[in-house]
Copies of this chain bind each other. A is one copy, B any other.
């Protein structure tokens, strides 16, 4: 709002992303327009194009930022010192849910908008990739390693690690997606507690399965 002070300008690119995110949060993705972002940061629409190739690149950056943040959430599992494959998986799921419900708009760009992926694909085709940390990949690996831990401990014998990991992921993704999209079959408003509760039910069942398998 209004022209930023010189000191704020240092990283106009960051400023743009910040405002894009804010607009996203406050008004939904249909409202991210170049003009609005420009107005918000006190620059002209044309200025945006000095920092981004086009609108899709902005969404792509938000998409990346989202995955970075998701990874940050997941790392709390480690910083909190959670031990044991089961607890780590459970805690990882809770963190995933928290991230999604804390940042529904990020979640949308990450999983429900085609543009960022389109941009990515185009970049890759033109060989213009650059060296970035792939946080989406890191997040998946973190999950996969957790699941591998279970398998190593003898659980789910004969099950492919990717298949099992995919199942875990599908579950939490479905859970938060339905909540964010307001498709839950409860009359009340969706809450984090509800999500955690459903998650517990899932994990508890799995845990039992694990125990059951082990006790055989």
Residues of A within 8 A of B (CB): 28, 30, 111-112, 114, 117, 140, 144, 156, 159, 162-167, 169-175, 177-178, 181-186, 194, 197-198, 201-202, 205-206, 208-209, 211-213
Contact B164 A169 (CB under 8 A): no
Query: Chain A binding site: helix, strand, loop or mixed by DSSP?
Result: helix
Nearest chain B residue, comparing its CB with the CB of A212 = B212
* Chain B residues with CB below 8 A from A165, complex form: 185
Nearest Cβ distance between residue A158 and chain B, in whole angstroms? 10
- Chain B residue at minimum C-beta to C-beta distance from A143: B185
In angstroms, how far is the closest chain B Cβ from the Cβ of A63?
A: 12
Say whether, besides A206-B205, A209-B206, A209-B212, A169 and B162 are in contact (CB < 8 Å): no
A208 and B201 contacting across the interface, CB-CB below 8 Å: no
